């Protein structure tokens, strides 16, 4: 038995030991006759639970779909991706086998943490078997932009299946954003701060940049064996500086790019010839996939070319090892090296870069790092390069070789302290904490129909109270939806009950809506109600003449957003822009549903990308897309303007997710009612605006 190589295995080693976790995994191709013995040994010695797959299925699943389809596609090499129905079938079957086995192993309250692109269907299959399971998923590689992902004929099924998890983790914001964009484009689901409502559950998407086992490295660099090996390594190269690269054999790792950088430096800065040695370590990996064999030939060729061109009798520029190093050798290499040259074309994180820094407790050494590695998002003090430019790589390599000691120390101190704080233990702990939270949150989201008894309790609480607050949304809550916003005028019945309720001493009736001031003013201006327009941006108290802005008005962003909406109006006949003071709205109620919702997804995608740094939110409502300042919400209106008063009774009613921000901040004991049967954080659901009026009429009668 041999341990697996690669970031996932290394990264999770500490977690698995410290949390007494059980690993479920594929041990490779094992003959029928050895399976019993292998199972026994793995279970008793390693707490590992093997999933055996028939040989052909395993090959199509692993070398096939996982590594010939998903790996290249997710690493922005779509031209290397193969789309094969049988591989896909094998992937599904293998994922099903995994889910079955895990379901048999894990008890209800245990956490199941699914790792990486090989198992993206497991969250869904497992959820089907155990609806209440706590499931986390972490992707160790990048998530592709939607434009790449859509090339995969089965991308929708994969994205849907991932949503079986409670928490989905990525290394970087870009990856999380790419995933959320795809969810929006493929499934029409929008998110709020990474939270998605999927049926009756909440799925949280978040960022967890993986760290390294800092303590293990700190111990390893003091071990006699590693120190002795470091000394021998240094003796072997004399006064030269040592530059290293280390990675699995993979076309994403940019090994030829590192070699071309080295060659360019030797060519353009001859003074560096003979003054450094480049130690290249390539670890065999996935050799059964043809691309990898090709990559190997390219690396061999480049090494030969550079050594033969620049080598002398005294000096060979590149030392090249093609095998796995034992841990002691690896640590010695980190310790001995003056420069780490890490140039992936695409990499989820890259642990080698982090391990190299972690090993440098004397703060010496310089790191050249590709901007395409997730690690570049955190290791700002490294020399960041674009690996596709040999000139840039060569220049950074030269700067690294010449970097003054004081500068090395300054840069490394900052990077190392971050690595020490967010080490692998913190990373895993953080993920598990968030998973518990996300799972618990789903429990708060439910559809709970208001029963007759609930309604009586609500009326009784109202009757007992002195200071009462009623917070009512308008469209969909007090009136049903009409074909155009202008047609949705309040009925005489609604006006009558609102008038009666707002006349009762001790009652404060607040109409809180996304509508414009003018609409609310025209309809309800003579009632003793507080009117709140544009989701909380404007307020008018009873008896007051004018409206008061609740936040300073800055709508310069409209100049940038309006032309985008206009281009959609031009393209999609029947759609229209509505301009409110603090927001812009694109309506598509008159457009056929398919065209409209497809265009809406595209619009939201465009807007979300453009508005990321403008403090705007893009809301998808009932056949509308609305853009407004992120500082305004019904919930924050309540918190800043109403929460401080001593209410004995609070009732909030609303029909869409802008009302959820209100429901979730109400004090315990409040009554909240969501109109419609969507899962909600409100205490109760009722079916329609008719129910709202009935409840309000009961309150009126009880006043």
Q: Which two tokens stand for residue 659?
A: 């009302």
Please state the closest distance from residue 422 (CB atom) to ligand GDG, in A: 13
Nearer to ligand GDG, 162 or 210 (CB): 210
Q: Which of 166, 190, 338, 473 is catalytic?
A: 473
> What count of other Cβ atoms lies within 10 Å of the Cβ of residue 267?
14
Distance CA 112, CA 171 (A): 19
**E strands within 477-528?**
507-512
Pairing mode, strands 241-248 and 201-207: unpaired
Please state the closest distance from residue 286 (CB atom) to ligand GDG, in A: 10
- Tokens 């009873």 correspond to what residue? 542
**Which residues 6+ apart lie within 8 Å of 226 measured at CB?**
220, 328, 331, 332, 335
Distance CA 535, CA 580 (A): 11
- Tokens 């008719």 correspond to what residue? 690
Q: How many residues does the chain have?
A: 703
Q: Which residues bind ligand GDG (CB under 6 A)?
A: 5-8, 10-11, 140-141, 210, 246-248, 283, 324-325, 327, 330, 347-352, 355
Distance CA 357, CA 416 (A): 6
Q: Which two tokens stand for residue 665?
A: 């901040």
Nearer to ligand GDG, 251 or 568 (CB): 251
In 3D, which of 243, 246, 269, 414 has the Cα closest to residue 338?
243
Distance CA 439, CA 582 (A): 35
Nearer to ligand GDG, 139 or 561 (CB): 139
Helix (H) or strand (E) run with residue 293 in it: helix 290-310
Q: Which two tokens stand for residue 42?
A: 């793995």
Task: Point out the residue whose Cβ comes nearest to ligand GDG.
Answer: 7
Please state the closest distance from residue 11 (CB atom) to ligand GDG, in A: 5
Distance CA 281, CA 330 (A): 10
Nearer to ligand GDG, 341 or 584 (CB): 341
- Residue 373 DSSP symbol: B
Nearer to ligand GDG, 285 or 477 (CB): 285
Pairing mode, strands 167-170 and 191-192: unpaired
Please say whether the beta carbons of 134 and 436 come within 8 A: yes
Please state the closest distance from residue 95 (CB atom) to ligand GDG, in A: 19
Distance CA 338, CA 355 (A): 14
- Residue 382 DSSP symbol: S
Nearer to ligand GDG, 118 or 127 (CB): 118
Please state the closest distance from residue 216 (CB atom) to ligand GDG, in A: 11
Please state the closest distance from residue 97 (CB atom) to ligand GDG, in A: 23
Known catalytic membership, residue 473: yes
Nearer to ligand GDG, 143 or 637 (CB): 143
Please state the closest distance from residue 175 (CB atom) to ligand GDG, in A: 11
Active site residues: 473
């Amino acid at each position: 038995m041999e341990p697996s190589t690669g970031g996932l295995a290394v990264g999770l080693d500490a977690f698995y030991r410290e949390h007494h976790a059980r690993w479920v995994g594929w041990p490779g191709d094992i003959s029928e006759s050895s399976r019993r013995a292998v199972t026994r040994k793995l279970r008793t010695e390693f707490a590992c639970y093997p999933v055996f797959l028939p040989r052909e299925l395993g090959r199509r699943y692993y070398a096939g779909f996982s590594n010939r389809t998903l790996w290249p596609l997710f690493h922005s090499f779509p031209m290397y991706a193969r789309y094969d129905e049988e591989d896909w079938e094998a992937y599904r079957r293998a994922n099903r086998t995994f889910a079955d086995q895990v379901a048999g192993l894990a008890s209800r309250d245990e956490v199941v943490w699914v790792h990486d692109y090989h198992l993206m269907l497991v969250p869904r299959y497992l959820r089907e078997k155990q609806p209440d399971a706590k499931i986390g998923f972490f992707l160790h590689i990048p998530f592709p932009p939607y434009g790449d992902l859509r090339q995969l004929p089965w991308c929708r099924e994969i994205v849907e299946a991932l949503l079986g998890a409670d928490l989905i983790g990525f290394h970087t914001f870009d990856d999380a954003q790419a995933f959320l964009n795809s969810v929006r484009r493929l499934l029409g689901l929008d998110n709020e701060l990474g939270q998605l409502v999927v049926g009756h559950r909440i799925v949280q998407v978040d960022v967890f940049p993986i760290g390294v086992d800092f303590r293990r490295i700190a111990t390893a660099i003091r071990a006699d064996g590693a120190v002795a090996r470091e000394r021998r390594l240094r003796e072997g190269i004399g006064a030269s500086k040592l530059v290293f690269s280390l990675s699995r054999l993979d076309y994403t790792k940019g090994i030829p790019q590192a070699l071309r950088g080295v060659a360019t430096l030797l060519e353009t800065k001859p003074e560096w010839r003979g003054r450094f040695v480049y130690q290249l370590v390539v670890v065999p990996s996935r050799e059964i996939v043809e691309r990898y064999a090709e990559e190997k030939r390219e690396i061999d060729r480049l090494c030969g070319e550079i050594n033969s061109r620049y080598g002398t009798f005294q000096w060979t520029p590149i030392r090249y090892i093609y095998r796995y190093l034992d841990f002691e050798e690896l640590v010695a290499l980190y310790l001995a090296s003056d420069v780490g040259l890490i140039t992936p074309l695409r990499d989820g994180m890259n642990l080698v870069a982090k391990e190299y820094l972690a090993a440098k407790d004397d703060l010496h050494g310089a790191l050249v790092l590709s901007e395409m590695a997730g690690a570049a998002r955190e290791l700002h003090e490294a020399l960041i390069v674009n690996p596709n430019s040999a000139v840039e790589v060569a220049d950074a390599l030269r700067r690294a070789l010449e970097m003054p000691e004081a500068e090395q120390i300054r840069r490394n101190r900052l990077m190392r302290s971050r690595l020490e704080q967010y080490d692998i233990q913190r990373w895993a702990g953080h993920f598990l904490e968030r998973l518990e939270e996300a799972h618990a949150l789903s429990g708060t989201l439910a559809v709970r129909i208001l029963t007759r008894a609930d309604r009586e309790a609500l009326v009784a609480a109202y009757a007992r109270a002195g200071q009462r607050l009623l917070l009512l949304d308008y469209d969909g809550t007090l009136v049903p939806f009409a074909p155009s916003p202008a047609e949705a005028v309040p009925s005489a019945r609604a006006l009558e009950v609102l008038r009666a309720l707002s006349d009762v001493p001790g009652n404060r009736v607040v109409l809180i809506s996304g509508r414009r001031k003018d609409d609310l003013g025209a309809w309800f201006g003579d009632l003793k109600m507080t009117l709140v327009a544009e989701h909380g941006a404007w307020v008018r108290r009873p008896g007051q003449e004018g409206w008061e802005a609740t936040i300073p008005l800055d709508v310069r962003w409209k100049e940038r957003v309006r032309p985008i909406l206009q281009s959609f109006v031009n393209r999609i006949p029947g759609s229209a822009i509505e301009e409110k003071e603090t927001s812009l709205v694109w309506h598509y109620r008159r457009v056929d549903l398919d065209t409209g919702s497809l265009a809406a997804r595209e619009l939201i995608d465009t807007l979300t990308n453009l508005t990321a740094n403008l403090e705007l939110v893009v809301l998808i409502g009932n056949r509308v897309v609305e853009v407004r300042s992120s500082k305004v919400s019904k919930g924050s209106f309540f918190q800043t303007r109403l929460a401080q008063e001593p209410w004995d009774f609070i009732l909030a009613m609303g029909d869409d997710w802008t009302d959820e921000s209100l429901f979730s901040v109400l004090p315990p004991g409040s009554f909240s009612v969501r109109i419609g049967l969507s899962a909600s954080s409100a205490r109760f659901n009722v079916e329609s605006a008719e129910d709202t009026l009935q409840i309000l009429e009961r309150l009126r009668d009880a006043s």
